[in-house]
Amino acid sequence: MALVGYARVSTRDQHPDAQTDALAAAGCEKVFVDHASGTLATRTALDEALGYLRAGDTLVITKLDRLGRSVRNLKQLSDELQAREVGLRALSQGIDTTTPGGRLFFHMLAAIAEFEHDLIVERTVDGLAAARARGRKGGPKFKMTPNKIAQARAMYDGGKHTVQEIADTFGVSRPTIYRHLDERVNKRVDERVDAAKPAT
């Protein structure tokens, strides 16, 4: 029944000392540290931490945003840990899934994630339909804000729009959309596009 810590800083210029010190003070016997953006699908240290954990262990983080790329991703990781009988504890928020209150929090998180995803998809699809009704494939050129990146990912996850349609919706190029989708998504998009091409 070990406490295993996980810390993440966004760039190599940042130092994880505050997180690792807090995790050590919480009793973590081993701490894994990633230097990576939270949006990246591949986080080597997190993969190592998940591989190290055993049933009865608890994964400890300082804050929930150190672990998940989004509410949805956080819920997926929580479900994976729960299925393996591994607890999850967030120190600064006082969340511990080994307690009834902590489990309730993640049930609520699941509902919020689903609601958030549905709203993003609905708003984006409505915007696409309105633009087409006005004879436009997409809006004016503009930068991808965090909210628009989330909308683009939601459209991709919904599986009903091609990358080109998503790019047209936001008035950007396909490479721009690819840049904002993580590496794992890029591979899945390539496979989907190839499969959709008509036979010659």
Question: Looking at residue 117, what is its pLDDT?
Answer: 64
Sheet containing 58-61: which strands, arranged edge to edge? 30-35, 3-9, 58-61, 87-90, 95-96
Task: Identify whether 200 is part of a domain.
Answer: no
Instruction: Name the amino acid, one letter, at 146.
Output: P
**Would you give per-residue pLDDT tens digits along the chain (200 residues)?**
899 999 998 765 578 899 999 999 999 999 999 987 655 557 889 999 999 999 999 999 998 888 876 777 787 888 899 899 999 999 988 889 888 888 888 777 666 666 666 677 777 777 777 777 776 655 444 577 887 888 888 887 777 778 888 887 777 888 888 888 764 444 554 555 556 656 55
Do 136 and 87 lie in a common domain? no
End residue of a domain, out of 38, 69, 98: 98
173 is catalytic: no
Question: Looking at residue 11, what is its pLDDT?
Answer: 65
10, 37, 92, 173: the active-site residue: 10
How far apart, in whole angstroms, are the C-alpha atoms of residue 97 and residue 105? Answer: 8
Pair of tokens at residue 116:
């958030």
3-state class percentages of the chain: helix first, strand second, coil last, to nearest 5: 55, 10, 35
Domain of 138 in residue numbering reads as 113-191
Q: How many domains does the chain have?
A: 2
Do 124 and 67 lie in a common domain? no
Task: Identify whether 79 is part of a domain.
Answer: yes
Do 92 and 8 lie in a common domain? yes
CATH code, 91: 3.40.50.1390
